[in-house]
Amino acid sequence: MKKTTANIDLRKAGLKVTLPRISILEILEEAEQHHMSAEDVYKTLLSNGNEVGLATVYRVLTQFEAAGLVTRHHFDGGQAIFELDTGDNHDHIVCLKTGKVAEFKDEAIETRLMEIAAELGYTLSDHKIVLYGEVKDPDEKQTRLKITN
């Protein structure tokens, strides 16, 4: 099924096509909430019947990050959060009540950030914006979370 896609991505990254890597890619692709900690991925693997060690999950996620397949975030404390790098380099808004993460992208802001970096004498290579707030109407959370997808 999806293995074809995954295989291509992995080969392009110069990584052998192994079961743990395929499974992890698929999990990241198919997860409803696609912002996952290594532990989240690990638990999903287990409940899918995949026998993969947590160390391998970390190793694979780190390799994926190096290959540009995955992005690593450090939203608040504790664990790192990973998500598939779709190339659109979006930003995030975290609900302080539910912990859920939504995405957005705004050209005006990106343009302004580049100007600011230039004014400060920097060559800008990346940026991260994280907004913290609360969803006004929790019942519409689902919808709102999908708003930028």
Q: Which of left, alpha, beta for 50 (phi over 0: left; psi -120 to 50: alpha)?
A: beta
- Tell me if 128 contacts its own copies by CB under 8 A: yes
Residue 60 binding partner per list DNA, its own copies, none, with a CB distance cut-off of 5 to 8 Å that depends on partner kind: DNA
Q: Is 127 annotated as a binding residue?
A: yes
Quick check: 74 binds its own copies (CB under 8 A)?
Answer: yes
Which two three-digit tokens encode residue 139? 């019942």
CB of 140 to its own copies, least distance (A): 7
Pick from 24, 96, 6: nearest CA to 60: 24
73 class by beta-carbon count within 10 Å (0-12 exposed, 13-18 middle, 19+ buried)? middle
95 assigned to a ligand binding site = yes
> Minimum CB separation from DNA for residue 7, in Å?
7
136 binds its own copies (CB under 8 A): yes
CB of 143 to its own copies, least distance (A): 9
Q: Treating both helix axes as pointing N-terminal to C-terminal, what angle do 19-30 and 3-12 enclose, rounded to 10 degrees?
A: 110
Paired with 95 in beta bridges are 133
Nearer to its own copies, 49 or 121 (CB): 121
x/- map, 126-145, DNA, by CB under 7 A: --------------------
48-58 burial by CB neighbour count: b if 16+ within 10 A, else e? eebebeeeebe
Residue 90 in marked binding region? no
Q: Which does 8 bind (CB under 5 to 8 A by kind): DNA, its own copies, none?
A: none
Which residues in 34-73 contact DNA (CB under 7 A)? Answer: 37-39, 51-56, 58-60, 62
